[in-house]
Amino acid sequence: MSVVTKDKAVVLIGFPMDLGAGRRGVDMGPSALRIAEIEKKLRALGYEVIDEGDIVVKTQEIQRITDERQRFLPEISRACDKLAQRVKKVLDDGRFPLILGGDHSMSIGSIAGASAYCREHDLRLGVVWVDAHADMNTPETTPSGNIHGMPLAVSMGIGSPKLTSIMGNFTKVDPANVAVIGARSIDQGEVELIHKLKVPVYTMFDIDKEGVFTIVRKVLDYFAEHVDFVHVSFDVDSIDPTVAGGVGTPVPGGLSYREAHLLMEMLAESGKMCSLEVAELNPILDQNNHSATFAADLVCSSMGKRIL
């Protein structure tokens, strides 16, 4: 199990894709995070950092849409398969994968790679999904046809076989071992699937009522008993747009600056995080790369940075 520790190299994998999104620009997210000096900041914490560059993704301009319910499915499937293989290779080498996105369909590949590694080593995978959205639509329920609204459903075995079969025909994560934190924009089809699968979802209402500390403590206590390997999928739109507005699909009423850092600090403190991804940064909608700088600082919080 490749829990992040100072003696393990952190491998940066760029995934510059906006094919799954309805708005252009998130393909520049990996560059924005590099400009925000994410490598330098991690080195300052004592990590060895290896930047493996970006996975090649074909742009929208040289493709055509063959299925309006799953836009750009063939290329998303191909690119996510490449990402899955890369993530598993990093884990096989005893290193920590940090994936820089890119729209949230990237998680189809990230989670498939982590899950294949866990399957091979008899480990139980858990996923912490920090997002304003549930991302549990299917080709039947999607209001847009954008695959970045489907990756969590795919990872739980529901969706196109071209996506669910990446790295093998098995369910990548048990719905009971998923925790969605910060949701505040959920489609009706997703609501029905959440109830059907009994996926633990902690909305902003829950956070307002109970507080981030209580929610994250509850998740980590459950994971301590049921999970060996934790993949954290962090969508920057989980943060309130007044704090980080450079995102693909901003939704008012999100996590505050300190709530976000506390969440990440608690994940680091748990010692269970084994892989991490950052999704949906959109520099076109940002000012002075502020959101990417904030996201890079949050990554550092998840990797052990503290006030004292």
Could you list the active site residues?
104, 131, 133, 135, 148, 235, 237, 280
Kindly list the distances between the CA atom of residue 248 and the CA atoms of 33, 97, 305, in Å, as whole numbers in the listed order.
15, 23, 27
For the record, the structure tokens of 268 come out as 């680091």
Q: Which residue has the tokens 């997210």?
A: 29
254: number of CA atoms within 13 Å, CB side?
25
At 294, which amino acid appears?
A: F
Q: Which residue has the tokens 């999904």?
A: 129
Asked if residue 128 lies in contact with residue 56, where contact means CB atoms within 8 angstroms, the answer is: no
Helix ranges restricted to H, the chain: 29-35, 38-44, 73-92, 106-120, 151-155, 161-164, 188-197, 204-210, 212-226, 257-270, 290-302
241/238 Cα distance (integer angstroms): 9
269: number of CA atoms within 13 Å, CB side?
12
Q: How many other C-beta atoms lie within 10 A of the C-beta of residue 182?
A: 30
Query: Distance of alpha carbon 236 from its chain centroid, rounded?
Result: 9
At 22, which amino acid appears?
A: G
Edge-to-edge strand order for the sheet containing 178-183?
A: 49-54, 10-15, 96-101, 273-279, 229-235, 125-130, 178-183, 201-203
Asked if residue 307 lies in contact with residue 142, where contact means CB atoms within 8 angstroms, the answer is: no
For the record, the structure tokens of 124 come out as 């139980």
